[in-house]
């Protein structure tokens, strides 16, 4: 008899117990499928950005290795924040540099004063209707705490920020080069326009 235990915190695969076989791992209150747990262990011995899986807005599992060879600006977003108008500038960057293998990747988060919609469809409708967002948006994630997304765990380990590794607010940004190295971390106050020069230099230096 197969008994559903829960979902993997990383990839949302079902974790179950069947005839004494358990296809998951519990660690510090977090539930992982075995594949994702092995990747988490590997993080301590040279795991790269491309070993991380994320969930698209539509719920499909996507490997960050799909972005290998691309320049990335990864952002934790929110729809009801004072920095929400930055969506406009992020879209402008995406349109300007997308032909140069550049992507903006948006990860909605509701951890800061509940400034994100509960429903994923509402999030997507808001971004597209109000700011014409066409860059990839992903499922809502936790960017800190016990349920922190493995992606943001990796990013914050690579670039700690001025006040430690933990993300403090919406629209923190991480610039990643074509080899998956996290080069820069930008505070929420850093507008997309202020990041343009760094992206331009990175593209020209590639």
List, by residue number, the catalytic residues: 81
Give dist(CA 6, CA 195) in Å, integer: 40
| Spatial CB neighbours of 77, under 8 Å, sequence gap ≥ 6 | 84, 87, 106, 107, 108, 109, 116, 127, 137, 170, 171
Element (H, E) at 53: strand 53-55
Q: How many CB atoms lie within 10 A of CB 95?
A: 13
Q: Which strand ranges, in their side-by-side order, compose the sheet holding 2-7? A: 2-7, 14-18, 21-22
């Amino acid at each position: 008899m197969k008994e559903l235990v829960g979902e993997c915190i990383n990839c949302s695969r079902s974790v179950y117990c069947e005839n004494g076989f358990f296809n998951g791992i519990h660690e510090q209150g977090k539930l992982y499928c075995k594949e994702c747990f092995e990747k988490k262990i590997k993080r301590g011995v040279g795991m790269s950005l491309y070993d991380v899986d994320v969930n698209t807005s539509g719920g499909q599992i996507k490997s960050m290795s799909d972005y290998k060879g691309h320049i990335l600006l990864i952002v934790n977003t929110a729809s009801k924040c004072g920095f929400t108008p930055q969506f406009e500038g992020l879209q402008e960057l995406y349109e300007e540099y997308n032909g140069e293998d550049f992507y903006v990747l948006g990860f909605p988060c509701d951890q800061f004063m509940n400034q994100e919609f509960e429903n994923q469809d509402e999030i997507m409708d808001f971004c597209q209707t109000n700011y014409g967002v066409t860059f990839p948006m992903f499922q809502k994630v936790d960017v800190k705490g016990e349920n922190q997304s493995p992606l943001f765990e990796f990013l914050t380990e690579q670039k700690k920020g001025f006040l430690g590794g933990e993300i403090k607010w919406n629209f923190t940004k991480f610039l990643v080069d074509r080899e998956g190295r996290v080069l820069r971390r930008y505070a929420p106050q850093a507008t997309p326009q202020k990041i343009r020069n760094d992206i331009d230099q990175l593209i020209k230096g590639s």
